[in-house]
Structure 1
Amino acid sequence: MNPEDIKQLREELGWSLAKFGKYFGVTAQAVLKWERGTALPNDFTMAAMIQLNRRLDEAKGENQKQQFINGLKQALLTGGVIALLTFLFNQDESS
């Protein structure tokens, strides 16, 4: 993902720099650096963002996209990074 893709993903989720960073274990300042292209996320974070972007692209219609985002938020609230990865990589693709 390039810097513009990262910014677009964050904006599509409707998350602030701080909220996006919180879910990936970094500061808002780090996210801003990613979006400006002055720093890169680590490989783990990049893989999670690529998968998150892919899953959002696969969502059919706003309702399904919103359901996915709500599930994502719930996973993050209840289990942090491990729950995020489980949600992104193991959820049934047909949902």
Structure 2
Amino acid sequence: MEPQEIIQLRQNLGWSLASFGKYFGVTAQAVLKWERGTATPNDFAMAAMIQLRNRLDQAIKEKQKQEFINGLKRALITGGIIALLTYLFNNEE
């Protein structure tokens, strides 16, 4: 993903730099570097962002954006990053 795509994804989710970073196990400063193009996400974060973007696009088309975002938050809060990734990659609602 290009820096502008990362910015757009984060803004579409309505998340701060810190909130977005939490989902990928990085700091707000790291996200800012991704968005400025001065650093590149690791392969794991990149794959997760691509999947997140695709799932969010699908949810928007189906008018289920808020439900999708709430599911992401629940997964992270209740089970951490592994639960979030399981939700993201396996939940094909």
The unaligned stretches of length 5 or more in structure 1 are none
Q: Secondary structure at the match of 1:70?
A: helix
Q: Secondary structure at the match of 1:38?
A: coil
TM-score, structure 1 as length reference:
0.92
Pair 1:74-2:74 in alignment = yes
After the TM superposition, which of the residue ranges 28-37 and 76-85 deviates more from structure 2? 76-85
The aligned counterpart of 1:5 is: 5
CA distance in 1, matches of 2:13, 2:76: 13
Pair 1:89-2:59 in alignment = no
CA distance in 1, matches of 2:80, 2:9: 19
CA distance in 1, matches of 2:71, 2:24: 16
For residues 49-60 of structure 1, what are the structure 2 equivalents within 5 Å?
49-59=49-59, 60=61
Amino acid at match of 1:57: D
The unaligned stretches of length 5 or more in structure 2 are none
TM-score, structure 2 as length reference:
0.94
Task: List 4+ stretches of structure 1 deviating above 6 A.
Answer: none
